[in-house]
Amino acid sequence: MKQPKLDPSKSLPPTLAWHFLRADRRLQWGPTDRKPLRAGSVLVHEGGLCPCNAGLHASLDILDALSYAPGPIICRVTVSGRFVPHGSPIDKLCCSRRKLLRWVDGTAPLRLFAADCAARSLRREETAGRKVDQRSWNAVRAARAFAQGEITADQLAAARAAAEAAEAAGAAAGAARAAAWAAAGAARAAVAAAVAAAEAARAAEAAWAAAGAARAAEAAWAAWAAAGAAERRWQRRRLLHYLPTLREVRL
């Protein structure tokens, strides 16, 4: 995603961004009696701005927002006014004003997205000529089926146990092939994260696991910047595929 030109010395005009909320739609920090946010809610921060500490945060890229998610509520927002960018490249903005335009419960989409990332990692392993244990594929299918309400928690747990056994066997076999084993690590991590997202008892954990699956799927390509950027583009498109009502939001 191309980084926009931002000048913190000037006021930020209303800018579309992404933000995640807890399952109860309340702010992660602040008074415990604050009401759940709804479409149209406007928050204003009057004091100084300090990313991660003081201000109203949002990310221009949904994948960046996901990495900071405290829960599964995915919001399309505008941010404006005074702002301080965070990260290099910028992964979020700390602003003086944020308006919630629309929100959805992303629990199921995030679980499906995690499964998609895991499946992509496994396909990459097969394309590289490395054999993928069928139990890993079964775990990804189970994670997706559970997210769609098609199998029980016990069936998902059985698929997880089988995948863990496959990983243990792969570790022993891969000890003599360190390079191949390292390359396969992203696939194993993505599978584990996809299953964790599916079986998470708390929606916040589903968001964290989905972010972990995305990072794991990207990790194998981290040494090649162009490939890593391509992976991010694919992940962005895939996650947005599950969010049609947010994808269509415009200023």
Q: Is 0.75 surpassed by the pTM of this model?
A: yes
Lowest mean pLDDT among 54-63, 212-221, 238-247: 212-221
Question: What local confidence, expressed as pLDDT, does residue 187 receive?
Answer: 65
3-state secondary structure of 144: helix
Instruction: Please give the residue that has the higher pLDDT: either 69 or 181.
Output: 69
Q: Are 54 and 108 in contact (CB under 8 A)?
A: no
Lowest mean pLDDT among 101-110, 170-179, 232-241: 170-179
- Residue 175 pLDDT greater than 50, yes or no: no
Q: 223: buried, middle or exposed (CB in 10 Å: 19+, 13-18, 0-12)?
A: exposed
What would the CATH number be for the domain defined by 12-105? 3.20.170
Question: What local confidence, expressed as pLDDT, does residue 193 receive?
Answer: 74
Separation of alpha carbons 77 and 62, rounded Å? 11
Question: What local confidence, expressed as pLDDT, does residue 215 receive?
Answer: 76
Question: What local confidence, expressed as pLDDT, does residue 168 receive?
Answer: 72
- What is the residue extent of each domain of the chain? 12-105, 108-241
CA 166-109-184 angle, to 5 degrees, is 30
